[in-house]
Amino acid sequence: MAWVFTSALSLVGATGCEVQEVPSEEEAALQTHAQELEAENGMSFNGLSLNGLSLNGLSLNGLSLNGLSTTDFASWFNGDPSNNNRLMRYMVRCAVPAGESRTFVNPNTGTTYTWPGSLGLAPDWAGGSPASLAEQQVISACLAAHANNYGLNISISVLGRDSKGANIPYSSEELSHFAKRESCFFGNLFNNEGLFAGNDRNALADDESTSRPCGLKGHKALSNPACSQVKRIGQCEDFCTLDASGNFYTQCSYNGVQYKPLNTRIRQSDVHRCGDGVCQMGESCGWGITADSCLMDCGTCSN
């Protein structure tokens, strides 16, 4: 049997302004601190891009040793080892708990790949069972939350509940460091229902942008061309139910289907403003003073 899981993920290079963002000492220290806390909280790093990759076998085989040693998995993996290695890194990070890892020995090359767990959102699937509907939804939401078609790794805070309904642990320190509410993500890649995202109770001003094309948008909530695989729904609160804590949503309803969402928060420093003198990913050249036409930062557009 072959099982197809469509609309997924491979890292691609950035397009647009030719800029290179070098983190300051403060940002580098915060990234290091976030990595140290990742095992205890929902802190993570995005860097996936959604680019039409197909995946078969995983949804029913699970992420156990037996599941990863099937001929189906090996055949899929060797179709594009470089990109599939990156995808598995995020799959395992989302599904498997911290302190565990999954290892695959490629029968074609003898190369060993080891992918560490982190969030532990799908314990049954991680143990080798077929992915339940709840696990399909929460893993899809997790992959969408990590999507970044610019190929950039940016620190994010991931909040919500796992497939069993348990809250992802978080601390007041995490909420303080990642003070900017960003987006809700939900959907189901396993059955082709797609991915959806909305703004979490705020929107970017016309002169603001971020380096996360699938995340927070302006007040018009239009999709970013760099993240066309995620459909914008507007404001999360119009479709989703807020938890009593006020920090994340517990479910979202769209097209008559209820989903298990995840929420993201970003650092305030990752919101860029046209006029700060730096052309960052997410800003564009032009003659104006808005993020999509920022003369002061990115200059005029050459033909």
Give pLDDT, residue 147: 87
Give pLDDT, residue 150: 84
142 is a domain residue: yes
Domain that holds residue 286: 4-12+25-298
94, 158 Cβ separation under 8 angstroms: no
Give pLDDT, residue 48: 66
50 is a domain residue: yes
Q: Pick the more confident residue, 275 or 33.
A: 275
Partners of residue 249 on adjacent β-strands: 242
12, 149 Cβ separation under 8 angstroms: yes
CA 44 to each of CA 17, 32, 47, 127, 193: distance values in angstroms, whole numbers, following the listed order: 26, 11, 10, 22, 25
Give pLDDT, residue 132: 92
120 is a domain residue: yes
23 pLDDT exceeds 80?
A: no
Into how many domains does the chain fold?
1
Give pLDDT, residue 17: 29
Q: Predicted confidence band at 43 (pLDDT cuts at 50, 70, 90)?
A: low
Model pLDDT for residues 241-290, shown as the tens digit of each residue: 999 999 999 999 999 999 999 999 999 999 999 999 999 988 889 999 99
Q: Pick the more confident residue, 76 or 31.
A: 76
Give pLDDT, residue 56: 52
289, 205 Cβ separation under 8 angstroms: no
Closest CA to 191 of 254, 149, 137, 247: 137
Give pLDDT, residue 63: 85
Mean pLDDT of 223-233: 84
Range with lowest mean pLDDT among 49-53, 98-102, 168-172: 49-53
80/164 Cα distance (integer angstroms): 33
34 pLDDT exceeds 90?
A: no
143 is a domain residue: yes
275 is a domain residue: yes
Give pLDDT, residue 59: 64
292 is a domain residue: yes
- Chain centroid, CA 190 distance in Å: 16
37 pLDDT exceeds 50?
A: no
> Which uninterrupted H or E stretch holds 293?
strand 293-294
Range with lowest mean pLDDT among 57-61, 116-120, 200-204: 57-61
Maximal CA-CA distance, the chain: 57
Average pLDDT over the chain, rounded to an integer: 81
64, 127 Cβ separation under 8 angstroms: yes
19 is a domain residue: no
140 pLDDT exceeds 60?
A: yes
Give pLDDT, residue 179: 95
pLDDT cut 90: percent of the chain above it? 52
223 is a domain residue: yes
Which letter, b or e, does each residue of 109-145 get, where b requires 16 or more Cβ atoms within 10 Å of its Cβ? eeeebebebbbbbbbbbbeebebeebbbbbbbbbbbb
